[in-house]
């Protein structure tokens, strides 16, 4: 069975989510025939760097764009010609992908330097996509430098990396640079919802929200998790759909707490309800939740509550991270809380989180923090 993130990988630039500025620049360059010869795509994992690199390769080699001037002005590949299909199937002779994490030495780059001078086998351009480019050795970067300075007219090199700061300035200064940012949670939820509908996966909105949150801005990670959890929607052995996947099921599968659960715990803490807070923490532990992750979620949540309490206009900023109902809950908590107390709680939670990461006692630092700061 094909992984969902592969099955629903964008086939056109306009399908790439969350990177609108980058896509607009690339499309405009394609429309006027000004695509460059060296690019660096950098940013967090799962944000579309390699996908966009492959789409750029299709733009360069699409036969319909080459033969149809009117179509070329759309700035998109046709996805129908021989070259587009070959690139989609990852068997194009003229598009080479190099994983620098496992091929990081000078020999691989020397091979690139030798082969890049060769004319394309069937396409208009030879395209080299070097993934995890920050893993290349110093000698490999030096070998690549000359090629970036004077690439053959038919060649394009695209470096993709999650750690831009590790690339030498001599490399970055010779390429067009595009930063890929984490996707807003609301964007990921919308994508997951359409995928679930297309796949016939019955899943609650709250469960989708938690999957999107678990992706932490990475659409690929969220799509992979949806595919993993989708097995819960099938009865063992018969392939028939069972009841809808709910939040509790996703919480069990991921060890994370949904935002509704985090809100309920935060509300108890704001009220000074120590007994209720400790009882909920015990219940979360019994259900197999990762209490370090729960504490991290509480910190992020209280940060939003504090921000809304001090500056309500920040609601527009959080609309990309929270749904309307979640914003309403956060605003309600902000209105009923004392900012000074929230600051005290945040400091205590941050200390507890730092201790929990290296403590063998699971939730004890969190429980101590609450005992010191909440009423009896």
CATH number at residue 144: 3.40.50.300
**Residues 211, 215, 220, 225, CA torsion sign:** negative
Are 318 and 350 in a shared domain?
A: yes
Q: What is the pLDDT of residue 232?
A: 65
Range of the domain at 285: 259-373
Are 28 and 148 in a shared domain?
A: yes
Are 263 and 346 in a shared domain?
A: yes
Of 179, 209, 244, the residue that ends a domain is 179
Are 322 and 295 in a shared domain?
A: yes
CATH of the domain at 232: 1.10.8.60
CATH of the domain at 276: 1.20.272.10
Instruction: Please write the tens of the pLDDT for every residue from 335-373.
Output: 988 999 999 999 999 999 999 988 888 789 999 999 999
Judge residue 79's burial from the number of C-beta atoms within 10 Å of its C-beta, 0-12 exposed, 13-18 middle, 19 or more buried: middle
Nearest Cα neighbor of 336 from 289, 281, 271 is: 271
Q: DSSP letter string over 294-306? A: HHHHHHHHHHHHH
Pull the structure tokens for residue 120: 């394309």
Instruction: Please write the tens of the pLDDT for every residue from 19-34.
Output: 999 999 999 999 998 9
Pull the structure tokens for residue 77: 């590949």
Are 40 and 98 in a shared domain?
A: yes
Q: What is the pLDDT of residue 359?
A: 81
What percent of the chain clears pLDDT 90, i.e. is strictly above it?
A: 61
Of 222, 254, 286, the residue that ends a domain is 254
Are 87 and 149 in a shared domain?
A: yes
Of 254, 287, 308, the residue that ends a domain is 254
Q: What is the pLDDT of residue 236?
A: 40
SS3 238: coil
Are 41 and 136 in a shared domain?
A: yes
Are 194 and 284 in a shared domain?
A: no
For 299, other C-beta atoms within 10 Å of its C-beta total 15
Q: Count the domains in the chain.
A: 3
For 99, other C-beta atoms within 10 Å of its C-beta total 13
Are 242 and 273 in a shared domain?
A: no
The pTM assigned to this predicted structure is 0.82
Mean pLDDT by 10 residues, the chain (376 residues): 83 94 94 92 94 95 93 94 93 91 77 86 92 90 88 93 94 95 92 91 89 91 89 53 75 82 93 94 89 92 93 88 86 91 95 89 90 80
Are 55 and 203 in a shared domain?
A: no
* CA pair distance 33, 146, nearest whole angstrom: 25
């Amino acid at each position: 069975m094909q992984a969902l993130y592969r099955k629903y990988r964008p086939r056109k630039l306009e399908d790439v989510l969350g990177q609108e500025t980058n896509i607009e620049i690339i499309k405009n360059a394609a429309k006027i025939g000004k695509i460059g010869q060296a690019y660096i795509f950098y940013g967090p994992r799962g944000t579309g760097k390699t996908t966009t690199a492959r789409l750029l390769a299709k733009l360069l080699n699409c036969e319909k764009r080459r033969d149809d001037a009117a179509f070329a002005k759309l700035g998109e590949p046709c996805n129908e010609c021989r070259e587009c299909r070959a690139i989609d199937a990852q068997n194009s002779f003229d598009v080479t992908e190099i994983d620098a994490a496992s091929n990081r030495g000078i020999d691989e780059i020397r091979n690139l330097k030798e082969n890049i001078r060769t004319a394309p086998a069937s396409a208009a351009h030879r395209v080299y996509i070097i993934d995890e480019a920050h893993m290349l050795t110093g000698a490999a970067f030096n070998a690549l430098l000359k090629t970036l300075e004077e690439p053959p007219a038919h060649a394009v090199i695209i470096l993709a990396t999650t750690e831009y700061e590790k690339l030498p300035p001599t490399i970055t200064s010779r390429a067009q640079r595009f930063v890929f940012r984490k996707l807003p949670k609301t964007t990921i939820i919308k994508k997951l919802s359409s995928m679930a509908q297309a796949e016939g996966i019955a899943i609650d909105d709250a469960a989708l929200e938690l999957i999107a949150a678990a992706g932490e801005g990475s659409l690929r990670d969220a799509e992979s998790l949806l595919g993993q959890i989708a097995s819960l929607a099938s009865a063992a052995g018969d392939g028939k759909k069972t009841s809808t996947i709910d939040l509790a099921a996703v919480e069990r599968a991921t060890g994370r707490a949904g935002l509704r659960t985090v809100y309920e715990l935060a509300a108890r803490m704001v009220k000074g309800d120590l007994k209720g807070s400790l009882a909920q923490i015990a219940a979360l532990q019994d259900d197999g939740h990762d209490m370090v992750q729960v504490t991290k979620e509480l910190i992020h949540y209280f940060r939003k509550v504090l921000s809304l309490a001090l500056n309500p206009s920040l609601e527009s900023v959080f609309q990309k991270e929270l749904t309307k109902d979640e914003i309403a809950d956060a605003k309600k908590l902000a209105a009923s809380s004392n900012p000074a107390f929230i600051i005290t709680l945040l400091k205590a939670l941050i200390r507890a989180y730092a201790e929990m990461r290296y403590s063998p006692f699971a939730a004890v630092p969190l429980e101590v923090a609450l005992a010191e700061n909440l009423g009896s």
